[in-house]
Amino acid sequence: MAPAATKPKAAAASDRSRVERTTELSEEVLEHVKESQEGALGAVRKFVESVDEALPPQGESPSRRQEVIDSALEMSQKLVKTQYDFLTHVVQSAGEALGTPARKK
């Protein structure tokens, strides 16, 4: 039978290992999010450039061009919110898996 002093050391090592893996996962998720956001920004820039070529600005009044751009930006905002909601869920799930109670907004 293992001495009582060994059990706390093993538990501490297990906790450290769990924390290290959680940190690694967090860093991986954040890197993927960063890459995703950079890709999304690039896509929005490319889209606006394409709209500018296809529908050049004309005058001061609201135009079809502006409607198209506004619609695309609204879609982008929804995608960002969806990504945020997903990440919030991932963080809450990770906290629950580690035995940390989830915080409510």
User: For 22-74, how does the pLDDT look when each residue is reduced to its tens digit (9 = 90+)?
Assistant: 778 777 887 888 888 888 888 888 988 888 888 887 777 778 888 888 888 88
Q: Which domain holds residue 31?
A: 13-97
- The Cα 41–Cα 32 span in angstroms is 14
Position 35 in a domain: yes
Residue 4 belongs to a domain:
no
Give me the mean pLDDT over the 70-92 stretch.
85
Indicate left, alpha or beta for 3 from its phi (over 0: left) and psi (-120 to 50: alpha).
Answer: beta
Mean pLDDT of 72-90: 85
Q: Is the pLDDT of residue 84 over 70?
A: yes
- Whether the model pTM is above 0.75: no
| Coil vs helix vs strand at 52 | helix
Q: Cα separation of 22 and 32, whole Å?
A: 15
Compare 24 and 16 and report the one with higher pLDDT: 24
Q: Does residue 1 lie within any of the structural domains?
A: no
For residue 38, being part of any structural domain is answered with: yes
Q: Is residue 8 part of a domain?
A: no
pLDDT at 7: 57
What's the domain count of the chain?
A: 1
Residue 65 lies in a domain: yes
Q: Cβ–Cβ contacts within 10 Å for residue 20, how many? A: 10
The rounded distance, in Å, linking the Cα atoms of 68 and 75 is 11
